[in-house]
Structure 1
Amino acid sequence: MRHALKFVAFGLLAAALLGGCSKKEDPVAQAAKKEVASGVPAPSIAEVKAIAEEGFIYGLPLVMNYGVMYEYIIDRNSGQYKAPFNTMYNEHRVFTYEDTAIPTPNSDTPYSLAWMDLRAEPMVISVPAVDRKRYYSVMLVDGNTFNFGYIGSRATGSEAGDYLVVGPRWKGETPPGIRKVFQSSTDFSLAVFRTQLFDAADMPNVIQVQEGYRLQPLSAFLKQPAPPAAPEVAWAKFDKDLVKTEFFEFLDTALQFAPAGADEEAIRARLASIGVGPGKKFAFKDLSLEHKAAILLGMKEGDSKVSERVATLGKAINGWNVGAAFGDRAFYNGDWLLRAAAARAGIYGNDAVEAMYPMSKTLADGTPLDGSSHKYTLSFAKDQLPPVNAFWSVTMYDGKNQLLVKNPINRYLINSPMLPAMKKNKDGSLTLYVQKDSPGKDKEANWLPAPDGPIYLVMRLYWPRAEPPSILPAGQGSWSPPAIVQAP
């Protein structure tokens, strides 16, 4: 799903010289005094830079998530606003090039979203019975970008049911009528509903399923009086330009709703040593010039490491990166760089057992894909289509910004429900034409329009088969995505 937050233009130290530089109010210096008072040496400039680098990597997914939440739920004038907290929002359409809040958005399952405030009480998600032929899933993802649970075709079946989502501090008993309890690691949590759309004429059926999704407080579900409301939050106004320097101010805001897990205590302590953390007010503009430079250089190096890690996610197979990059807290096990790379590659991605995402920007030999100067083909041999229990797709993105590509036929992907309308080769294989201009009317059914520049292709294999042929385990499966070939 976007908010890439790519810090590729810090301008080195130029930005560090902007704004005030009062050492008297320097948050890093103030934090250092507390360290000294407690018997801990104050961090040196080199250590401040190292902590900023580590803190950027650790905090990137939290800040990205905060940015999406701010645009979707908090700022009604963002242009991307969806609905208030604790309200179901249904998209009766698939995403297009006009959707810019989330990188690599899915355009083959209409979304329903529910951002939950779990501070006052838990929330109940109710799902209707869904035809077994129609795949659907509800991914529960918290402010740490941990996928902490699933409801849907694979995880819980196609039957109707009621499920409880609780906050990090909840310790109650499972109420009657609740099939399962899911616990978020943060006070605010997102439920992402994906409902399969077979074709344009199928949208009324999808809408009917979406209207069966319900969200309500536990008190309403139990028909009991509601508890006192949680206090209002003074949200930090999110700005994509400010975040380049005020990243840690936004991280302060996000961390106050994210109690530290055991695997976070060390990085939280190091961040506190430079004045970053829940209840703190890091202010970049108040830093000394030395600390501004250290913070910016640390963030820049952290940003570079995240980008490098994105490029090596998974195993390189035929020019595709095939791997598992999304999961719960146990999946990441303190690997904050993997978590940051996953968020940048496409925040809110599924666990591998729910969906696999082979990604490619190059030919098998590493040559970058470029729609401005080349045409390409992607061919699946007979009986070698992606092995899935649900469905598969190949989606085109602009390689520069990871957004969907505007094109004359409004086609952003090719997926398995489109197969009946596509043309197969005489040998039974299927060839997709990946290029910016039409390959001709006779081949247009198999055309995946490309940008006039760098290409980024993402396969989605929903509910991949576990038995051979399979893409699982990630990077070691018996099925591999075929290589993209440059046309003569």
Structure 2
Amino acid sequence: MTTRRELLGGIAASVYLTALAPAKLSAASHEPGFFAAKDIAEAGLIFGLPIVMNYGEMYEFVVDKSSSQYKAPFNVLKNEANVFTYKDTAVVTPNSDTPYSLLWMDLRAEPMVISVPAIDRRRYYSIQLCDSSTYNYGYIGTRATGTDAGDYMVVGPDWKGETPPGIRKIFRSGATLSIAIFRTQLFGPADLDNLKQVQTGFGAVPLSTYLKQPSPPAAPTVTFPIFTKELAKKNFFEYLDFMLEFIPAAANESDIRAKLASIGVGPGKTFKFQDLPLEAKIEIGLGMKQGQDKVEAALTKAGTVINGWNVSGLFGDSQHFDGDWLMRAAAAQGGIYGNSPEEAMYPFTRTDSSGKTLDGATNNYTITFAADHLPPVDAFWSITMYDGKTQLLIENPIDRYLINTPMMDTLKRDADGALTLYIQNKSPGAEHEANWLPAPAGPIYLVMRLYWPKQSPPSILPVGKGTWQPPGIAVAA
């Protein structure tokens, strides 16, 4: 999904500057001492960053109807059958492999039932279930549940009941607000109408509607606080305070929740940064700056560099993170709502095999897969070209933005059966143009996507230690 690094960029500095503004000192305070509060704010930013980023996405997608990103209200499925091109600039590193359908669920009153049609085994699809803590708590789709038609129920953390007739599986969210991200494989622009028919077969209704029973009492109306990037920089803990109402504390959160409560953050509390005395503002600001610095450092170190490609598997369920709030924050900051490694892997690079920055203005490049060394997947793979500065698709004379498995029949093989792709700004000539991936006249950013990576050797899994490694990008002779 979207990268939101800019969303909270400079958050700590902004808070710190606000803290230094004239403020009214309180005569007495129940707050912890200076260094204790600073440390709590640091830990709180690391713990809360994915939760606040998730709120920002949710606000734009389902709350603020004036937002350019607005999709649909809670519990209403929105299909988007788009073939992304260079004209699409709202989302960085747009995915042209699998158009999306989105469903944001409010599970407070009752569960939701997601229905899928029978889907051709050749067409990969997945439905990623991700809660407000950004845990991937389940999958529906080709890998996880197969391609037969079926009905699946998503329940809130406190739901109790029997499995209704007709429900194939129950998924339990760790929060009462959750997103379902549908990805459906597109074979190419000519396949768009077929994809739309698949998306039409997806459905989502409340359990009472599915069972044809009266609806239960509606959940209390929620007043969602206005969210903007600027407000996020100033009101981080207010947003976290608000969202924790919807996320019951997990067993491994008791310590951090207690620390947050000591500075007035948590369910039933009303943290207000602007009302804090000057000293408390400085404490909180310093702590947040240290927290954000740690997240940035962790993201920089994440993954393993293999032949110039960064191979990482940051995303997963609560067991995957196991209370490692720093890894969870780094994952969200790097690209919120990423798939778990068993569903998809995303090696990326900005450098050639020698570590030099890829630049289409100065060099032509090739990447060669040996005849028996194509990316090992049970679904499909792709390589997508982006502008290295903007991470957007680039305008090019053949309207080609990626090379993927469905294109294999149109690609030319080398004499030994290997597959060489030509990565350059100008055409490599008629002989090689079938294998040309047009590059910008400047910095290059490449993302390889492996959907449903094979588990047995050769495999890119386990992450960073797999028996298959992506080949390096070479400067063309």
TM-score (norm 2): 0.92
Cα-to-partner distance string for 1:58-113 (whole Å, 9 max, x where unaligned) = 11111111111111111111111111111111011134556566554422101111
Q: How far has the Cα of 1:271 moved from its partner?
A: 1.4
Q: Which residue of 1 aligns with 2:77?
A: 88
Measured in 1, the distance between the counterparts of 2:334 and 2:474 equals 23
User: Which one is further off, 406-415 or 137-146?
Assistant: 406-415
Query: 1:193: Cα distance to partner?
Result: 0.8
User: Does the C-alpha gap of structure 1 residues 170 and 14 become closer, same or farther in structure 2, counting only changes over 3 Å?
Assistant: closer
Which sits farther off after the overlay, 409-418 or 430-439? Answer: 430-439
Amino acid at match of 2:26: K
Alignment of 1:381-392 (within 5 A): 381-392=370-381
SS at match of 2:379: coil
476-485 or 278-287: bigger deviation: 278-287
Matched, 1:152 2:170: no
Aligned residue runs from structure 1 range 242-391, under 5 A: 242-371=231-360, 373-391=362-380
2:108 aligned with 1:116: no
Tell me how far apart the structure 2 counterparts of residues 394 and 117 of structure 1 sit (CA, whole Å).
36
Contact 1:91 1:111 in 2 (8 A): yes
Match for 1:64 among 53, 57, 61? 53
Which is worse superposed, 297-306 or 385-394? 297-306
Which residue of 2 is the match for residue 477 of structure 1? 466
Separation in 1, partners of 2:276, 2:433: 57
1:104–1:346 contact (8 Å) kept in structure 2: no
1:13/1:190 Cα in 2 relative to 1: closer, same or farther (>3 Å)?
closer
C-alpha displacement of 1:130: 0.5
CA distance in 1 between counterparts of 2:330 and 2:231 reads 21
* 3-state DSSP of counterpart to 1:348: coil
Give 1:194's aligned amino acid.
R
Aligned position for 1:395: 384
Please state if 1:412 is matched with 2:414: no
1:239 aligns with 2:228: yes
Residue 294 of structure 1 deviates from its aligned partner by: 3.0
Tell me if structure 1 keeps the 8 A contact 2:51–2:243.
Answer: yes
**C-alpha distance in 2 between matches for 1:443 and 1:298:** 55
**Counterpart of 1:39?**
none
Q: What 5-or-longer segments of structure 2 have no aligned partner?
A: none
State the partner residue of 1:22: 24
Q: Percent identity?
A: 60
SS of residue matched to 1:114: strand
Deviation string 1:109-136 (CA, Å, 9 cap, x unpaired) is 0111111110110000000000111111
Q: Counterpart of 1:456 in 2: which secondary structure?
A: strand
Deviation, structure 1 residue 355? 1.1
Aligned residues: 475
| Alpha-carbon distance in 1 for matches of 2:332, 2:396 | 27
Residues 38-53 of structure 1 aligned to structure 2 (within 5 Å): 42-53=31-42
User: Structure 2 CA distance, aligned partners of 1:100 and 1:258?
Assistant: 33
Aligned mates of 1:408, 1:12 — CA distance in 2: 43
**Kindly tell me: are residues 48 and 399 of structure 1, through their superposed partners in 2, closer, same or farther at Cα, counting changes over 3 Å?**
farther
SS of the residue aligned with 1:339?
helix
**Deviates most, 281-290 or 224-233:** 281-290
Indicate conservation of the 8 Å contact 1:377/1:486, yes or no. Answer: yes
Alpha-carbon spacing, 1:295–1:402, altered in 2? closer, same or farther (3 Å): farther
Look up the equivalent residue of 2:461 and give its one-letter code.
L
CA offset at residue 57 of structure 1?
1.4
Distance of 1:250 and 1:453 partners within structure 2? 39
Q: Secondary structure at the match of 1:208?
A: helix
Question: Cα 1:397–1:110, aligned 2, differ >3 Å: closer, same or farther?
Answer: same
Q: Answer yes or no: is the 8 Å Cα contact 2:20–2:278 preserved in 1.
A: no
- Trace 1:215-234 onto structure 2 (pairs within 5 A): 215-234=204-223
Gaps of 5+ in 1: 34-41
Q: Which residue of 2 aligns with 1:74?
A: 63
| Aligned 1:172-191 pairs, distance under 5 A | 172-191=161-180
Q: Distance in 2 between matches of 1:43 and 1:367?
A: 49
Determine the C-alpha separation between the residues in 1 that align with 2:362 and 2:8. 26
The CA RMSD over aligned residues, in Å, is 2.5
Which one is further off, 88-97 or 196-205?
88-97
Q: Whole-Å Cα distance in 2 between the matches of residues 130 and 377 of structure 1?
A: 36
TM-score calculated relative to the size of structure 1: 0.90
CA contact (8 A) 1:48 1:295 kept: yes
Q: Name the SS of the counterpart of 1:466 in structure 2.
A: coil
Q: Deviations over 1:122-160 (max 9, x none)?
A: 000000000111111111111111111111111111110
